[in-house]
Amino acid sequence: MSDPQPAHTPLHLPLPNPQSPTPNPKHPVTNTLRSDRSRFAVLWYRVVQWVMLSLFVTFLGLRATGRRNVPATGAALLVSNHLSHLDVFVLGLTLSRPLNYVARSSLFFPPLGFLIRSVGGFPIQREGIGTQGLKETLRRLRAGGIVALFPEGTRTRDGALGPLKQGIAVLASRAGVPIVPAAIAGSFEAWPRSQILPRPHPIRVHFGKPIEPSVMAGRDPESLTCLIREGILACQREARRGLEHNRD
């Protein structure tokens, strides 16, 4: 399901959606609606967001659909495919809610590390989310935040969705929050691993309907991982349709 705005119209930040998935009263993570960061941190996030959004819309033709599928309040996990270094910006720029970002620890060097932390990023080991990463993710979810991560663990080499790390099922089970699948198309062509600098290319992102905790309950790790993967693949098809529409 996509936003009613045509794909060729300018991207703007949507108003918060008053209808968000029903929280799970049995789980403390989904039962909190308080802000996950200070007002100053939100203000700084907005400044960075609007500056980068202008650049991405102008030079990369960034467009998004399905944004109303992202809960307006409450904790949630946002999971997406990973094509390029541009992907973190693509996800965050198109949503009205400030995101928390899971980023690999090797990126946290001065001054880049300071910038990543200032907009909600926190480090994990490249091999997996790890104990500290899991604790920090759960902490931010319990604060009512939305955490974005790439369950493949690394950027794709060919544009296709790679295998998801097993840790995503563990995290989903522990968190007990809605999981919002998403997918990006076009950022691989704009900035693949083999290219030093990005080049202009249209980019589309689609956000799918949340996978509710009740749907995930009782599933084994393999089944849960497959469910999440299917959600990302469905979003990937929608994002690619957006690119095809742009070419018509």
Q: What is the 3-state secondary structure (H, E, C) of 95-139?
A: CCCCEEEEEEHHHCCCCHHHHHHHCCEEEEECCECHHHHHHHHHH
Report all structural domains of the chain as residue ranges with CATH numbers, in order of start. Answer: 39-247 (3.40.1130.10)
pTM, whole model, 2 decimals?
0.82
**Could you say which DSSP state residue 248 is in?**
-
pLDDT at residue 199, as a whole number: 92
pLDDT at residue 48, as a whole number: 93
Order across the sheet with 99-104: list the strands: 63-65, 204-207, 179-185, 76-80, 146-149, 99-104, 121-124
State whether the Cα torsion 18-27-122-182 is positive or negative. Answer: negative
Please state the separation of Cα 202 from the chain's center in Å: 19
Q: Pairing state of beta strands 179-185 and 204-207?
A: antiparallel
Is residue 108 exposed (0-12), middle (13-18) or buried (19+ Cβ within 10 Å)?
A: middle
Q: What is the pLDDT along the chain (248 residues), one digit of tens a residue?
A: 444 443 333 344 333 333 333 334 344 454 444 467 889 999 999 999 999 999 999 999 999 999 999 999 999 999 999 999 899 889 999 899 999 988 777 767 787 778 888 888 888 765 556 677 888 899 999 999 999 999 998 899 999 999 999 889 999 999 999 999 999 999 999 999 889 999 999 999 999 999 999 999 999 999 999 999 999 999 999 999 998 876 65
Phi–psi pair at 165, nearest 5 degrees: -65, 145
Write the Ramachandran bin of 109: left for phi over 0, alpha for psi from -120 to 50, otherwise beta: beta
